[in-house]
Amino acid sequence: MTKTHVEVLHWASAFFVEHGREETAARLLLQHVTNKNFSALMMAMHDPIDDALVATFEQMVHEHVTGRPVQYITGVEEFYGRTFSVDESVLIPRPETEELIVGTIARMRRLFATNDLRLADIGTGSGAIAVTMKCEVPELTVVATDISDVALQTAQKNAAQLEADITFRLGDLTAPLAGEKYDVILSNPPYIAFSDLPDMSDVVTEHEPHSALFAEEDGLILYRKLAEQVGPLLNETALIGVEIGYTQGEQVASYFRTHFPSAHVEVVQDINGKDRMVFCEITP
């Protein structure tokens, strides 16, 4: 007997609750399988669903119960109103990172008289930051780097799909940018301390790339190195913006204050009231 959308959704939701997974994953997977947005799915709730789609949906549900993130199963994640391709080579873009984009654009408008600027995204991963900045501010010249060749391939795919003209370079931190000057440098580096691993969800630790999650020195090493290395890359007026772990604000800010003593350095909270970004504004 053919099932309705609501029947398969209720089954999956209960199945996820029973296995300790978020029941909202059921709706996301069903939207993907049926190629419907939220409103269309709600309107089709009592309509029959094709048996072949049910079989695909059930397969995805069982896959998620093993811990594989929904975004890796569907191959996509929404970020800043755009659809990005994601796979196990890259970190899944988080909503908090959208706030880094918002904060950066606001500060750019205040600091610079033009949008004809050079921006570098260090550790680009899926390319979410670099691609979004290029799409939101088309006049920007954007260079994106990553230490992972497979991550860069995913980022290049996203740039192509979203028609963002970006230069991609392979290498560690500032090395691929040597000898050049930039107005804006952004980074969302790995910042989780290895000691936090036991307390984290298996959905994250067993599937997302550890090289994009964890860092030495209690998660702070890349901020320290960035603050030490980035000076020669900056124009006279420049903006640095980084995403941080919620306990790392003052320590990361201190790195930038040490290396840029005359700069305006601030720790900015996210929508949930947690320290999430550090911005360093450098002016003559």
Extract the tokens encoding 256. Answer: 């930038």
Residues paired with residue 28 on neighbouring β-strands, in sequence order: none
Q: What is the pLDDT of residue 133?
A: 98
- Please state whether 67 falls in left (phi above 0), alpha (psi between -120 and 50) or beta: left
pLDDT score recorded for residue 113:
92
The pTM is what? 0.89
Q: Which CATH number applies to 92-282?
A: 3.40.50.150
Distance CA(193)–CA(73), nearest Å, equals: 27
Q: Distance between CA 254 and CA 24 in Å, rounded?
A: 40
Residue 89 is predicted with a pLDDT of: 85
Separation between Cα atoms, residue 52 and residue 1, nearest integer Å: 13
* 120 alpha-carbon distance from chain centroid: 15
Return the structure tokens found at 233: 């890359």
Residue with tokens 């090395």: 175
Q: Are the C-beta atoms of residues 125 and 157 closer than 8 Å to each other?
A: no
Tokens 């109103």 correspond to 81
Reading the chain (284 residues) residue by residue, the pLDDT tens digits are 789 999 999 999 999 999 999 999 999 999 999 999 999 999 999 999 999 999 999 999 999 999 899 999 999 999 999 999 999 889 889 999 999 999 999 999 999 999 899 999 999 999 999 999 999 999 999 999 999 999 999 999 999 999 999 999 999 999 999 999 999 999 998 656 555 556 656 655 565 555 555 556 566 788 999 999 999 999 999 999 999 988 889 999 999 999 999 999 999 999 999 999 999 999 99
Q: Where are the domains of the chain?
A: 5-66, 92-282
DSSP symbol at 187: E
Q: What is the pLDDT of residue 26?
A: 94
- Scanning the structure block, which residue is given the tokens 């959308």? 5
Contacts 24+ apart (CB under 8 A), 16-25: 16/61, 16/64, 16/65, 19/65, 21/64, 21/65, 21/203, 25/64, 25/70
User: Rounded to the nearest 5 degrees, what angle is found at the Cα of 106, between the Cα atoms of 105 and 111?
Assistant: 95
